[in-house]
Structure 1
Amino acid sequence: MTLTIGIQLEGVILPPVLTIDVILGLLGNMVALWIFCFKLKAWNPNNLFLFNLVIADFFALVSLPLRIDALLRGYWVFGDGLCRINLFLMFSNRSASIALMTVVAIYRYFKVVHPHHCFNRMTKRQAAYVSVFVWLLVISPRVPMLAYSHIKGRANSTQCFFFTSYKEASRGIIILVGMHRILTVLEFIIPLAMLLFCSIRISSFLKERQMGKKDKVRKAMHVCAAIVTVFMVCFLPTTVTTIGVWVIRSYRPWDCTAFYTFTQLTIVSFGLNFLNSALDPIVYVFSSSMFRKALCSSLPRTLCCGRGNETPESTSGTQSTSQDELKSMRASRGSEAM
Structure 2
Amino acid sequence: MNQGNVTTVRPDDCKTPEPLTYNVLSWVMIGEFMLGLPLNLSVLYIFIFRFKFWKNKSIFLFNIVVADFLLVACLPFKAYHYQQGNRRSENSVVCKTMLFMLFLNRGASIAFLITLSLDRYFNVVHLGKRNFVKVLKKSPQISIVIWLLLLPLTIPTMVTTFECCNSHGREHETPAHDVTDTFREIVYFSQIVIPFIILVYCTVRIVNRLRKKTVGEKTKLRRAVCVVLSVVVVFSICFLPSTLARVALLVVRLKKWQDAENVVVQIYDSLMVLSYIDCLLDPLVYCFCNSGFKDAYVSNFCPSILQKRLLKADFGLGTTTVTTTTSGVRTVTLPILEK
DSSP 3-state at the match of 1:118: coil
Q: Percent identity?
A: 28
Query: What secondary structure sits across from 1:95 in the alignment?
Result: helix
Aligned-residue offset at 1:174: 4.6
State the distance in 2 between where 1:103 and 1:17 align: 30
Structure 2 counterparts to residues 188-227 of structure 1, below 5 A: 188-211=192-215, 221=225, 223-227=227-231
Counterpart in the other structure of 1:18: 29
Report the number of matched residues: 311
The alpha-carbon deviation at position 115 of structure 1 amounts to 3.4
Distance (Å, rounded) in 2 between the aligned partners of 1:123 and 1:224: 19
Deviations 1:212-237 (A, max 9, x none): 68887667645543431221121112
Partner of 1:116: 128
Residue type of the alignment partner of 2:49: F
Asked if 1:68 corresponds to 2:70, the answer is no
In structure 1, the residue matched to 2:182 is 178
In structure 2, distance between residues paired with 1:328 and 1:87: 34
- Normalising by the residue count of structure 1, what TM-score does the alignment of the two structures yield? 0.77
Superposed CA deviations along residues 108-146 of structure 1, whole A, max 9, x for unmatched, are: 2222333323226516553x3332232223221322444
- Deviation of 1:19 after TM superposition, in Å, equals 1.8
* Greater RCO (Cα-Cα under 8 Å, separation 6 or more): 1
Measured in 1, the distance between the counterparts of 2:106 and 2:64 equals: 11
**Equivalent residue, structure 1, for 2:240:** 236
Query: What residue number does 1:154 align with?
Result: none
Residue 281 of structure 1, CA deviation: 0.8
Amino acid at match of 1:279: L
CA contact (8 A) 2:288 2:317 kept: no
Residues 24-59 of structure 1: per-residue CA shift (max 9 Å, x gap): 221221111111110114636851111111111111
* Residues 1:9 and 1:242: Cα distance change in structure 2 (over 3 Å): farther
1:147 deviates by 5.4
Mean alpha-carbon deviation: is it higher for 136-145 or for 66-75? 136-145
| Alignment match, 1:187 | 191
Relative to total residues, which structure has the larger helix share, 1 or 2? 1
5+ residue gaps, structure 2, are 9-15, 320-332
Unaligned runs of 5+ in 1: 151-159, 318-323, 331-338
Matched, 1:87 2:99: yes
1:155-174 matched pairs, under 5 angstroms: 161-165=163-167, 167-168=171-172, 174=178
Aligned-pair Cα RMSD in Å:
3.5
TM-score by length of 2: 0.77
Amino acid at match of 2:98: N
CA displacement at 1:199 relative to structure 2: 2.1
190-199 vs 49-58, which deviates more? 190-199
Note closer, same or farther for the CA distance 1:45–1:190 as it changes in structure 2 (3 Å cut). farther
Residue in 2 aligned with 1:7? 18
- Give, in whole Å, the separation in 1 of the partners of 2:131 and 2:253: 44
1:61-120 CA-partner distances (Å, limit 9, x unpaired): 111111101111224667321111011111221122112111111112222333323226
State the alpha-carbon separation in 1 of the partners of residues 50 and 90 from structure 2. Answer: 38
User: Residue 224 and residue 108 in structure 1: after superposition, are their counterparts in 2 closer, same or farther (change >3 A)?
Assistant: closer
- Residue aligned with 1:117, SS: coil
